[in-house]
Amino acid sequence: MTLAPETTRPATALTLQLLLDDDWFTVCELSLLTPGRGVAALLPDGRQAALFTDRAGRTYAIDNRDPFTGAAVLSRGLTGTHQGRPFVSSPLLKQRFDLESGRCLDDEDVRVATYEVRAA
């Protein structure tokens, strides 16, 4: 599922916000995220973010573009943990990306952008 900035929501719903250029951008209702599954969101500048939540209620946002293939697919990857760190693996070539730091667990020279996230 891909969410556009025009997504409507009730005023009382908790929303997920990303910090973009020193300003908080509302992406979607927090209730739209399912633990263990990603959601792609279109950002105002045309980039995409991959949003995730885990069973403990922690939320993460990283760039949706797989740096190895250039495809916007990380939101479709499988999530898991490695040495206590949450990650998503690309559905294409299976490289794993740390959801907190963006670092590729399989190639230390590669990383994806991460976004600061809050529920408001």
* Residues 29 and 9 sit within 8 Å (Cβ to Cβ): yes
Distance CA 105, CA 87 (A): 9
**Homologous superfamily of domain range 15-119:** Rieske [2Fe-2S] iron-sulphur domain (2.102.10.10)
Q: Please report, for the chain, the start and end positions of each structural domain, with discontinuous segments joined by +.
A: 15-119
Q: DSSP code of 72?
A: B
* Mean pLDDT per 10-residue segment, the chain (120 residues): 55 87 95 93 96 93 98 96 95 97 97 96
Distance CA 120, CA 114 (A): 19
Token readout for 39 is 């959601």
Classified as helix, coil or strand, 74 is: helix
Rounding to the nearest 10 degrees, give the CA dihedral for residues 7, 44, 15, 57: 120
pLDDT of amino acid 9 = 46
